[in-house]
């Protein structure tokens, strides 16, 4: 998020990248509600008459997007949003904050149902999450509906398209539905995002004629690959989740320190690793990822076996209760029995049966 041309006439805000990214420190925050709030207050003190918000983003945190939308809507200046490149997911909510909503002819627009990472949730947690998502979807539909009166049915269908992940709209389609009010820019499409960043988004593939909006990734250095692997061991807020997560992270940091060499240490720059050391470390981290996944799989199997054991134990107890109620001797029945009852102890007869022994062995 960058703030440009902050004058009494107009303030320009650029929102590029992930919505609601919170870094290690406040200075590293990008496109967060807090950052927008602070800057809008500063812009308000300048008495700017107009605010132009330029957007090129695949989305991010819907809560931050809703907060940013509401702050822009409530600001006394006239707000214009301008979409260029790709505008998807939570970024489209921010785009709806403009009284005027412009879009490049070469850009694409996508709305979809909200989504969330649930993890190992039980039935109650899943029910709570479902209700929360329904509430957010209704809120998004209301925001889109304000800009697209009479198109609520079409918008609802767009939210559900492709199993809820939506489909890409051209500038003309977005204008026809009311998402935007004006189309600009007749120039050739230019790459606005890397292919890897797009693939990580989980959004539908771009139409073939818009493939040049994605640029080839630059070769990543071993250090960048190492940082990616380290980041994968952190939670979404870039903080270890708990002491178990810290135990997972500790070996990674210890591995880095294991390469420490006094000859490679610079008092001013700190520790320096060679490319070969980084590649070796990356390979080891890959092995650790495999082990971690196997551990999680075994934990799931253990949980399933515990559940099966509980079921078998209950069945054993049920059968035992039946056996305990059987009298030691079968009373004689007048007229004789169709099948003679065993002469010995019936309880011993039942407990010695193959079926009983099989169930007992399973438990």
Q: Among 257, 274, 305, which residue terminates a domain?
A: 305
Domain assignment present for residue 7? The answer is yes
Q: Does 236 lie in the same domain as 101?
A: no
Q: Which residues of 171-186 are buried (b: 16+ CB within 10 A; e: fewer)?
A: beebbebbbbbebeee
In a domain, 310, yes or no: no
**Residues 250, 119 share a domain:** no
38 and 176 inside one domain: yes
Determine, yes or no, domain membership for 316: no
Please identify every stretch of the chain with a pLDDT value under 50, giving residue numbers as ranges.
235-244, 262-263
Residue 206: per-residue pLDDT? 87
Residues 272 and 228 in one domain: yes
Q: How far apart are CA 17 and CA 197, in angstroms?
A: 10
93 with 28, same domain: the answer is: yes
- Grouping H, G, I as helix, E, B as strand and the rest as coil, residue 90 is helix
Determine the structural domain holding residue 162 and report its residue range.
Answer: 2-215
Model pLDDT, residue 238: 44
Same domain, residue pair 115 and 202: yes
pLDDT, tens digit, 9 for 90 and up, residues 153-209: 999 999 999 988 999 999 999 999 999 999 988 665 666 677 777 777 778 888 888
Is 312 part of any domain? no
- For residues 255 and 108, state if they share a domain: no
Considering the domain boundaries, does residue 153 fall inside one?
Answer: yes
Examine residue 311 and state whether it is found in any structural domain, yes or no: no
Q: How many domains does the chain have?
A: 3
Report pLDDT for 41.
80
Q: Does the residue 233 lie in any domain?
A: yes
Whether residues 206 and 228 fall in one domain: no
pLDDT for 228 equals 62
Q: Are residues 34 and 150 in the same domain?
A: yes
Task: Tell me, yes or no, whether 277 and 161 share the same domain.
Answer: no
Domain-terminating residue out of 155, 181, 215: 215
* Domain termination residue (choose one: 170, 185, 215): 215
Residues 197 and 280 in one domain: no
Please check whether residues 226 and 355 belong to one and the same domain.
no
pLDDT for residue 171? 94
CATH of the domain at 154: 3.90.226.10
Residues 6+ apart with CB under 8 A from 70: 97
Query: What pLDDT is attached to residue 105?
Result: 92
Give whole-number Cα distances, 327 to 65, 66, 138, 272, in Å: 72, 72, 65, 82
- The CA distances from residue 114 to 49, 163, 169, 172, in Å, are 34, 12, 18, 24
């Amino acid at each position: 998020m960058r703030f440009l041309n902050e004058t009494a006439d107009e303030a320009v805000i650029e929102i590029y990248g992930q919505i609601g990214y919170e870094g290690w420190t406040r200075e590293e925050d990008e496109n967060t509600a807090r950052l927008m709030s602070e800057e809008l207050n500063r812009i308000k003190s300048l008495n700017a008459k107009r605010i132009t918000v330029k957007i090129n983003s695949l989305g991010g945190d819907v809560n931050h997007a809703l907060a940013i939308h509401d702050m822009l809507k409530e600001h006394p200046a006239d707000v214009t949003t301008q979409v260029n490149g790709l505008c998807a997911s939570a970024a489209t909510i921010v785009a709806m904050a403009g009284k005027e909503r412009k879009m490049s002819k070469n850009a694409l627009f996508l709305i979809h149902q909200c989504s969330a990472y649930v993890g190992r949730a039980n039935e109650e947690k899943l029910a709570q999450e479902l209700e929360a998502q329904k509430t957010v979807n209704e809120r998004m539909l209301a925001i889109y509906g304000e800009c697209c009166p009479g198109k609520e049915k079409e918008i609802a269908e767009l939210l559900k398209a492709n199993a809820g992940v939506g489909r890409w709209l051209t500038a003309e389609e977005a204008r026809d539905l009311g998402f935007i009010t004006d189309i600009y820019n007749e120039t050739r499409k230019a790459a606005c995002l890397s292919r890897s960043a797009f693939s990580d988004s989980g959004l539908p593939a771009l139409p073939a004629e818009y493939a040049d909006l994605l640029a080839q990734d630059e070769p990543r250095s071993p250090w960048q690959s190492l940082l990616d692997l380290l980041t994968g061991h952190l939670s979404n807020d870039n903080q270890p989740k708990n002491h178990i997560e810290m135990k997972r992270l500790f070996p990674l940091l210890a591995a880095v320190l294991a390469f420490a060499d006094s000859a490679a240490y610079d008092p001013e720059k700190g520790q320096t690793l060679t490319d070969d050391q980084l590649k070796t470390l990356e390979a080891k981290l890959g092995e650790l990822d495999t082990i971690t996944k196997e551990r999680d799989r075994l934990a799931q199997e253990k949980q399933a076996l515990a559940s099966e054991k509980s079921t078998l134990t209950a069945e054993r107890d049920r059968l035992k209760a039946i056996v305990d109620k059987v009298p030691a001797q079968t009373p004689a029945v007048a007229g004789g029995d169709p099948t003679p009852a065993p002469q010995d102890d019936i309880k011993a007869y039942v407990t010695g049966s193959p079926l009983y022994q099989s169930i007992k062995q399973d438990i």
